[in-house]
Every structure is written in C-alpha cells, then in structure tokens.
Structure 1
Amino acid sequence: MQWRINYCRSGHAGFASLHVDAITSPRSQDKGCCQCIPTAPRRLSPHLGGLPSSCCLVIQAHCYRGSRLSRNMSTMLKTRTFSEEERSAFSPFIDDQPAIGRYEHFKMLLLGPIAPLRFIVGVLIVMSVAPVFRLITRTKAPSRAELTAMQRRMIDLYGAFVMRVALFIGGYLWIRRKGKRVRMVDGVHVPVVVNHQSWVDIPITAASGCFGFIAKDAVEKIPVIGQNAKLVGTVYVDRTSAESRRNAVQTINDVVRDTRGAGLTVWPEGTTTNGSCVLPFKATVFAVAGKCGVPVQPMTIKYGHRCYNVTLASADWKENFFRILTQFVNKAEVTYLPVMSMEEGETAEAFAERVRAAMADDLAAPMLDYPARRKYVYREYLKGKIPLSEAVQKAAEM
C-alpha cells in the first residue's frame, strides 16, 4: 500500500504524531531527489530535516500507535503546505485544513467503522422522497404546475424534513438560524442568494425551505433524482448551449413570477470556495429581480472550521465525506439578511456588488476578484496535468 504526501520543510508539525515503518522519496517532478529513511518504526519528524525543502514522500507502510490504517483511510493523511505563489494565484480554492492531531485520529478510529453505515442510512432516507412524492402526486411523472396547492406544500415540507434528517445523520445535530425568511412580495417570489462553499450548502438550504435550484440539464436524466428534484422547483439549463444561456434570464423570470413554483435559490459565485472570501457575483438573477421589481434576500452559511473545514474547494470528495462522518458534531449557522432592492438608476452589476458587500460583511470575509475559472485551472495542476508555473500563468491571464 502507498500513500502520497506533499511535504514542505515548514510543515513539520503536521507530521508530529505520525509513526512510519518505511519512507522513500522518489524522484520529484519539480526538484528531482531520491532519499531513503531507515525502515525501523520511529517518529517521522526527526528525519524530515535532512530532506529537501520540497519533495514528494511515498509512505509504503505505516502505523499509528500500533493500529494499521486501511487503504480507504489513507486520504486523511494528506497534509500540505502551500507556497506563496500558489496561495496568491489560487487562494479561494486551496484545501487549507487544520492539522490532524491525536484527537482527530481518535475520532477517525472510533467513528470510521460506522461511517459507511451512516452514509448508507442517509442515502436511503434521501431516496425515500421517490415513493413518498409518488404517493402525494398519485401519478408517475407530473410537473409542479399540475399539482394542487396542498400537494405542493406537502412536497416542500417532506423535502425539507428529509434534508434535515440527512443532516442530522451527518452530524449536524442543530443548525443555528438568525433573521427571518421573506418568501413573497406582492405575489412574486423573493429570490434567495447564498454564498457557496460545500455540497452541504444544498441540504442546508433545502432544510430551511429554500428550493428552486438551477441545475445543469444532465441532472434531469439521473433516475429518481431528476424528476423528484423537478417537483421541488429545480430548473434545468443546458450550459453547453449558447441559446440556453441566453434564455436563462427569461427562465429565471418565469420561475420568480410563477406562484405555483418553489421560488428561486441561487449561488451567484458560480462555484465553491474554501470560505476565506466572497467571489464576484454573476448578475443574471439581480437583473431579473430588478426587472420584476422584487427584492432579493441574501442568506449566508457559516461552518465551524476548528476541527475540519467541510468546504469542497479542491478537496477529494471521498475524503470530504469521510471526515464529515467522523466528527462527533458538525456546526453550521444560517443567517437571513434583510431583503435588498435595486435602486433607481442602478445597474444589475452594481446591485450584485452591493449585495455581495453585505454578505461579505456578515461573513467577515474579504471580497476577492478571482474568476471562478481559476478553480478549474487549479484542479488541472492538482491532478498533475500541468506544472504550477503553467497554472499560475494561466490564472494571471484570466
């Protein structure tokens, strides 16, 4: 078994409690080095001083206090430090995690064996929406517009209930809420705009009764999920079609004005971040709100990062699931900010920037003008497709 760990000399503390049987340092793509540490079990830290300042270690066998970790648990050992160049170019997207100490290892060893069971139970509960929605609608594949007001209400309530139960199984025993949700103004739905950090954002917003997501059309083709997501107001858009993107404004306009719909929930940043900042907002929903004469309601989600940062900016999704399911408690806080309307003579871009500033102030996070496309360049670098120098150059050209 092998585990790959990226290492920088400044990061000794991250390995302080790791015991190893053997370590080799194969030829690095960047520095080119090859060293070997004696194979007797011992602490790693005393041996790091002789390694180059940047190299790639492969742990061939290891143990922690005599307990051998399985291959599936290897991802939790990935510890990185980031160069100034990497931080400068990709700051919102780096997976900057707290150091894994003895307490975290204890939780993983204690809760790791039941993590798969918690995951399976959560999936089964979420999948229960299919038969329940079928029972409520009494037909196989209706549209939301064909349902009665009572049926729509029952679907929304059950959808929110299922998401809350799934979050509870995932360790979100309670979610603190501040402010008041404003659903409609003058018979028109008030769009909700949310900061985007993790896949957990989706069940949290749904558990709060905020539906009407915008998703790519490929989701509609997923068995069970596609049709049932449509029943809670999900709108599908073909992102590869220029015509579909041009029609997005009209689609959003129809959703906002449709009293039989579920409203609209939008993540205007367009991608997830590590929660360290607020990215520029796409102005489409703000243009529609101004055209319809309705306000938008900013909603912020904050996560507790003391033990583990649940954000999914560039983390491996398997590691992300595992770490979330091996926490005793996960914390989240939802804040509904006051509704905000477009002012006379204000452009959609200026309106979006004003809402962004209000959300950044509540999150106590800076507004950084990093284009969302940088994240995909960074992923190419993380997958080893391009070197860091090329990734930084591409980012600078955006």
Structure 2
Amino acid sequence: MLMGVRIWVGGALWLALVLCGIRCRIIGLERLPAGSVVIAAKHQSAWDTLIFHRLLADPVFAVKRELFSVPLFGWYLRKAGNIRIDRTSRVHALKSLVRGARHALAADRQVIVFPEGTRVAPGVSHPYQVGIAAVYGQCGAPVVPVALNSGVFWGRRHWRKRAGLITLEFLPPLPAGLDREGVLNELKNRIEAASERLRREAEAQLPAGSRLCTKPGGKRA
C-alpha cells in the first residue's frame, strides 16, 4: 500500500508543479537519522503531509480521531497504522500518542507529530502541546524539529495556490536530557525562528500586494 500512496503523492506534487507552479526545496535531510525517528514539524498546509510520504521510508502520523471516520481517507489512516488521538481527554490523548509512537518506532518507522496540534497560518504560533514532550521522554528515539513555509503558497482553507518555492528544513535533533518544559521551549524556539525566516524568504518572492495576511488576532511567531 505504501507504494501506491507514494505514487499518488508523487502525482499530486507533480500536478501542483505543473498547474500551480509550486516547487519545493528540502534543507538538512542529512540531519535525519536512519531508521526510527520522531519528527516534530510545523504544520501550515496539506502539503506538509504529502511531502513526508516522499521523504521518509515508512512514515506514521499522529492524527485526530475524527479523521478516522472520513470515508476512504479514514480507511487509509487505519490501514497505514497511523496513531489515533482522542482529543476529548488529555490523559487518553497522551497515552494513545505514546503507545502508538512506541509501537511505530519499534517497527523502525518514522513518527510525525505536529506539536501545535493543528494547521496554523504563516507567521502565527499556537501553544506547543505536551504530547511531543511525553514522546521525547518515554520513547527513547531522536526528535528532529522541522520548519517550513508551505502556508505561504498552499493555504489552509483556500483552494487557490500561489506559484513559488516551498522550503522544508530539518533542524538538528534535540539534545538528550531535557525536561518537559525544556523540550517544549527548545522546539518552539527553534521551529518558530526558522519558520519565520523561511516565511520572510517566501513572501519576498511574491508580487507586491499579494502577500498572505495574518488572521485577525493571530500571534506573529
């Protein structure tokens, strides 16, 4: 099934290039350890989930429970062994995330967690959730932060896309021995600083007057 998903994702990215002029650049792939690893990534658009299927050998995502009920897509999520997160209970969410991550890492898979828990607009930062700190502390796998600027060209809730170069950057893995607050602070500081830098680079490509605006009340990174 993974091969079929890769083919479908490749087709979607090819169409994005041909029809929309969306190219991509990957930085720091050499920082990604071989085998099992935890990816803590900024999440701005659907492009983010597509590209990880192209970059990683056997990815598994932490996904909110509601998506498992979507026809066909939910079937794929279950079949691929993605981690179901019940967000109605913080305790259940943490337990299911850690349990699912351990299972996937033991199978030499790559676990992708979006620490903010949802897609956010470029230049906006949401609180980083404690789940990623629990995975760091209890699963024993390297945690690699990822910054990106996909939302500048591929919006969260807009069908229109903008031509340009999306950049995804793998940052150095977190050091060992951090406590919960240390994990969250380190991730947020690294990911937000790098994502803001990439956002500014991306918006500099856009014609005057067409830059994405931050949502009212949003917090700039």
- TM more than 0.5: yes
- 1:167-201 per-position Cα deviation (integer Å, ceiling 9, x unaligned): 2212355311111252546xxx2100111112222
Distance 1:336 1:218, change over 3 A: same
Partner AA of 1:274 in structure 2: A
Higher alpha-carbon Rg: 1
TM normalised by structure 1 equals 0.43
Partner AA of 1:182 in structure 2: L
State the 1:239 CA deviation. Answer: 2.3
> Larger relative CO (CA 8 A, sep 6+): 1 or 2?
2
- Alignment of 1:351 onto 2:195: no
Find the aligned partners of 2:146 and 2:189 in 1 and give their Cα distance: 12
Distance 1:162 1:183, change over 3 A: farther
What is the aligned partner in structure 2 of residue 336 from structure 1? 170
Which runs of no fewer than 5 residues in structure 2 stay unpaired?
Answer: 198-214
What is the aligned partner in structure 2 of residue 182 from structure 1? 32
Distance 1:215 1:172, change over 3 A: farther
Partner AA of 2:60 in structure 1: G
Aligned length: 196
State the 1:242 CA deviation. Answer: 5.7
**Aligned partner (choices 119, 123, 128) of residue 281 of structure 1:** 128
State the 1:212 CA deviation. Answer: 0.9
Find the aligned partners of 1:236 and 1:355 in 2 and give their Cα distance: 23
Distance 1:200 1:226, change over 3 A: same
Identity of aligned residues (%): 20
Partner AA of 1:176 in structure 2: R
State the 1:303 CA deviation. Answer: 3.5
**8 A contact 2:45–2:151 mirrored in 1:** no
State the 1:337 CA deviation. Answer: 1.2
Distance 1:288 1:242, change over 3 A: closer
What is the aligned partner in structure 1 of residue 154 from structure 2? 310
- 1:5-30 per-position Cα deviation (integer Å, ceiling 9, x unaligned): xxxxxxxxxxxxxxxxxxxxxxxxxx
- 1:146-169 per-position Cα deviation (integer Å, ceiling 9, x unaligned): xxxxxxxxx2x4423321220221
Partner AA of 2:186 in structure 1: R
**8 A contact 2:41–2:145 mirrored in 1:** yes
Distance 1:174 1:239, change over 3 A: same
Q: Once superposed, what is the RMSD of the aligned Cα atoms?
A: 3.0
Which residues of 2 match residues 21-60 of structure 1 at below 5 A?
none
**Aligned partner (choices 149, 157, 161) of residue 7 of structure 2:** 161
What is the aligned partner in structure 2 of residue 115 from structure 1? none
Distance 1:223 1:174, change over 3 A: same
Find the aligned partners of 1:333 and 1:267 in 2 and give their Cα distance: 17
Distance 1:172 1:164, change over 3 A: farther
**8 A contact 1:303–1:332 mirrored in 2:** yes
What is the aligned partner in structure 1 of residue 75 from structure 2? 227
Which runs of no fewer than 5 residues in structure 1 stay unpaired?
Answer: 1-132, 134-154, 366-381, 383-387
Partner AA of 1:175 in structure 2: C
Question: Which portions of structure 1, spanning 4 or more consecutive aligned residues, are displaced by more than 4 angstroms?
Answer: none
**8 A contact 1:342–1:351 mirrored in 2:** no
State the 1:247 CA deviation. Answer: 2.1
State the 1:310 CA deviation. Answer: 3.0
Partner AA of 1:229 in structure 2: L
Distance 1:348 1:243, change over 3 A: closer
Q: Secondary structure at the match of 1:300?
A: strand
Find the aligned partners of 1:282 and 1:340 in 2 and give their Cα distance: 16
Q: Secondary structure at the match of 2:59?
A: coil
Which residues of 2 match residues 322-333 of structure 1 at below 5 A?
323-324=160-161, 327=162, 329-333=163-167
